[in-house]
Amino acid sequence: MHPTLEQPRYFPDLYASLCVDIRYWLAPRLPERYTISVERGLSMTDESGATKQYRPDASIDRAESPEAPYADAIVVQPPSFSVEVLGHPQRYVAIRDKDESLVTTIEILSPANKMGDGYEDFRRKQEQLAEKGIHLVEIDLLTQGKRRWRDDRVDQADYVMAVQRAGSSLANVWAAALGEALPAIPVPLLEPDADVPLPLEYILQEYLAKSGLGRRLR
């Protein structure tokens, strides 16, 4: 990551492009039972019966034929550390063959997710998703703002990628510093399907090359 990309001049385009690029990377590598969509709204119902609409940045939901084999050369790095997930999510994995139940959300954090009311809304939404038995993948490429993980190691990291698997009280965290390559992280699916590797540095470099920003930010 280049720190300039956090500026308001660049980040909205980076944010939107990475959502689409992540979808295009993952779609042909998913087993046939899944499809992947970008910025699709989903409804969550709380204990009082109230319904609220949420829009994850990328959601994996049900069925699409893979168009390409897995990239065997990609190696998912081990996490930098694990952090305790506050609260007590229900420990179950949603079954999602033909009923369109959500399996995994991939969130690229925006500035609105990390400050003020937006931070609180994002934190509550993630807690509700976890309680529903949904895998959470969070990609935080912003050095400023709050993070929902209460751990000094998270606070000290420039960039944070976290994977909270359904039913787990821990989230695996990948930390990256300014100037370091972003890691390849796993995207969990339903058992017994294997995780799909997501090579963030490769996707970022493809974006920089296609947008022309790579030349400008050297």
How far apart, in Å, are the Cα atoms of 206 and each of 40, 161, 212?
Answer: 24, 19, 10
* Nearest Cα to Cα of residue 190 among 60, 68, 64: 60
User: Is the pTM here over 0.85, yes or no?
Assistant: no
- Structural domain spans, the chain: 3-216
Residue 90 pLDDT: 27
Identify the CATH number of the domain defined by range 3-216. 3.90.1570
Residue 204 pLDDT: 95
Residue 86 pLDDT: 47
- The residue whose two tokens read 């709380």 is 46
Residue 205 pLDDT: 93
How does pLDDT run across 78-115, given as a tens digit for each residue?
888 776 554 433 222 223 445 678 899 898 888 888 88
DSSP-assigned states of every residue in 182-210:
PPEEEE--STTSPPEEEEHHHHHHHHHHH
Q: Return the beta strands (E) in 36-125 as ranges.
A: 36-38, 42-45, 51-54, 58-60, 81-84, 104-108
For residues 173 and 77, what is the distance between their CA atoms, to the nearest angstrom?
11
Which positions of the chain have pLDDT values less than 70?
39-72, 83-99, 218
For residues 50 and 66, what is the distance between their CA atoms, to the nearest angstrom?
37
